[in-house]
Amino acid sequence: MFTTRPTLEGTFGAVSSTHWIASQVAMRILEQDGNAFDAAAAAGFVLHVAEPHLNGPGGESPAIISTASDPVPRVLAGQGPAPAGATIKHYTSLGFDLIPGSGLLAATVPGAVDAWLLLLRDHGTKSLKDILEPAISYAARGIPVLERVTATVESVRDLFEQDWTTSAALWLPGGQAPQPGTLHSNPAYARTLQRLVEEGRSAGADREAQIDGARRAWSSGFVAEAVDAFVREPQLDSSGRRNTGVLTGSDMSAYEAQWESPVTADWQGVTVAKVGAWSQGPLMLQTLRLLDALGDPSALDPGTTHGIHSIAESMKLAFADREAWYGDVDDVPIDTLLSPFYAAERAGLIGDRASEELRPGSPDGRAPKLAAYLSSHARMAADARDATLGEPTVDAKGVTRGDTCHVDVVDRWGNMISATPSGGWLQSSPTIPQLGFALGSRLQMLWLEEGLPTSLHPGRRPRTTLTPTLVLREGRPVLACGSPGGDQQEQWQLLFLLRHLVGGQTLQEAIDAPAWHTESFPGSFFPREMAPASLVVEDRLPGDVKDALSSMGHRVREAGPWALGRMCAVSRDTASGIVRAAANPRGMQGYACGR
């Protein structure tokens, strides 16, 4: 089978990320005797500089890890919560029925930096200086600009020049957007990172003390002070009005990233580990259960008419349950949602025609509750989205516009990590000039309606779309993977896993194969649109398959031959110690390294 590049193989270590420089920086750390967690943290900070339209220090970074000494998977919960002042009453008093998709009111507590530093402290081996040095160097000296960075800046030029003038100062120097291939620097962010190193050094002589010192400087020191002051100044947001934010320095000092247990499911001889129901992670596990309940091995082939129909209809049911039941609350009926008997009940809804309905189930006899906004504002997805409205994932034509990053690392000892940093995009909020970055806008994923698992509530995390994956066999990690893509992340990963784990394709073959997804559920981001019975496909899918799917009621839209998915993956054979890596060719920036 033709692949765009080889699946890399070796025994020393392997990395895959959404940017070649981040991959190479991670590999450099491995070469310097760092472990997978050192390497991932270094890559994470470099991604802030290399892909600023896709992630930033003001965003978030959930991850799943497994260590060589204790392979039981653990979740690094790097998603910040709603600030203390983020109440439904506050937003509705401003006249909102949805939280704005951009600007200060959409900001959660930044979670990415504390998460990376917690990972480094608890499981890394290198010093804070060693890990931050690559990002400091690229921010200070400049990094080659991606074409998509230029396009993103141009798309928000008027906003920057007329309102977000601090962003214009960074991204439109001399009135010009940085051009593809030229060097662009961010001296303010370089100074921020350098000061974290200095604050850490002053906190003590040992590695852990220095990392904790940097964490304090971030959460309750100079970073929190600058954030607090900036958020008090009104800024234009996607409502078309100027509003101050509710995030405070006290919110930042009250937050620490945490370690949590994952949600897991045993399937086809492996264990799949995902982030809990405050993400969309269990959705993949539900879909695997539904496919098993169909009792038809041919339903697991994402390249045939029958397989695509079966997988898409299963995912629609899981997405409907996501909308009704998932959230950062204690009473998510996760055991029932992932049970075989519930899957069998739900699988009976799958027929020969594409469903246009949103059909959540009733686990344990509980009646599902959907946001009233969904019925009162039902709409089809628009052909294009304003780049400032929220996460610019995949528009209705299937054009990938960027949204998130990903990095996977495995080392020679068997440590493995899958991480999906996102948020804090250069276009999500005005740049804080003293710090060199913008706040995130993930609060838009919560509803301004009481009684839902995703209702806005102080201290509650938004139900994030960020969903890294770790796969274990006989209790040992064998695969880490993930993809940017908002609501599509789980869908593209599922196709990859089915092709690799069931179809026997290599990592690169499974990544390169034609991708597709559905949008037949409410979107997670403002303005929360859905496209019933939609099926967005890459043109390379055979014509007879597309025609057959259309005849079954799927509204097939072609996206271009190489438009969907930005998968990354690494693996390790526990018997031989061989490590492998592959990366997505779409967008021409994701790369793997390994030897």
Residue 377, pLDDT score: 56
Mean pLDDT of 90-119: 96
Is residue 582 a contact partner of residue 508, using CB atoms and an 8 Å limit? yes
Question: In the predicted model, is pLDDT for residue 194 greater than 60?
Answer: yes
Question: In the predicted model, is pLDDT for residue 105 greater than 90?
Answer: yes
Question: In the predicted model, is pLDDT for residue 155 greater than 60?
Answer: yes
Q: How far apart are CA 14 and CA 572, in angstroms?
A: 9
Residue type, 496: F
Residue 2, pLDDT score: 84
Question: In the predicted model, is pLDDT for residue 400 greater than 60?
Answer: no
In tens, the pLDDT along 56-71 reads: 999 999 999 999 999 9
Question: In the predicted model, is pLDDT for residue 264 greater than 60?
Answer: yes
Q: Model's pTM, two decimal places?
A: 0.95
Q: How far apart are CA 288 and CA 267, in angstroms?
A: 7
- Percent of the chain surpassing pLDDT 70: 95
Token code pair at residue 505: 């394709």
Q: Which residue has the higher pLDDT, 249 or 391?
A: 249
Q: How far is CA 443 from CA 5, 103, 452, 529, in A?
A: 38, 10, 15, 17
- Percent of the chain surpassing pLDDT 90: 92
Question: In the predicted model, is pLDDT for residue 94 greater than 50?
Answer: yes
Mean pLDDT of 303-331: 97
Is residue 155 a contact partner of residue 121, using CB atoms and an 8 Å limit? no
Residue 587, pLDDT score: 87
CB burial class (10 A; 0-12, 13-18, 19+) of residue 194?
Answer: middle
Mean pLDDT of all residues belonging to the chain: 94
Q: Rg of the Cα trace of the chain?
A: 22
Mean pLDDT of 275-280: 97
Query: Rounded to 10 degrees, what is the CA torsion of 165, 169, 171, 174?
Result: 120
Mean pLDDT of 450-454: 96
Coil, strand, or helix at residue 402?
Answer: coil
In tens, the pLDDT along 501-549 reads: 999 999 999 999 999 999 999 988 878 888 999 999 999 999 999 999 9
Mean pLDDT of 140-169: 96
Question: In the predicted model, is pLDDT for residue 380 greater than 90?
Answer: no
- Residue holding tokens 């309102």? 163
Question: In the predicted model, is pLDDT for residue 390 greater than 50?
Answer: no
Question: In the predicted model, is pLDDT for residue 391 greater than 70?
Answer: no
In tens, the pLDDT along 544-593 reads: 999 999 999 999 999 999 999 999 999 999 999 999 999 999 988 999 99
Residue 376, pLDDT score: 65
Query: Rounded to 10 degrees, what is the CA torsion of 169, 172, 174, 179?
Result: 140
Region at 326 (left for phi over 0; alpha for psi -120 to 50; beta for the rest): beta
Which stretch of DSSP H or E encloses residue 393? none
Q: From the DSSP assignment, how many helices (H) and strands (E) are in the chain?
A: 20, 23
Query: How many Cα neighbours within 13 Å face the side chain of 160?
Result: 25
Question: In the predicted model, is pLDDT for residue 296 greater than 50?
Answer: yes
Residue 373, pLDDT score: 87
Which stretch of DSSP H or E encloses residue 222? helix 222-231
Is residue 45 a contact partner of residue 116, using CB atoms and an 8 Å limit? yes
Distance from the Cα of residue 279 to its chain's centroid: 10
Residue 382, pLDDT score: 40
Residue 389, pLDDT score: 38
Residue 393, pLDDT score: 42
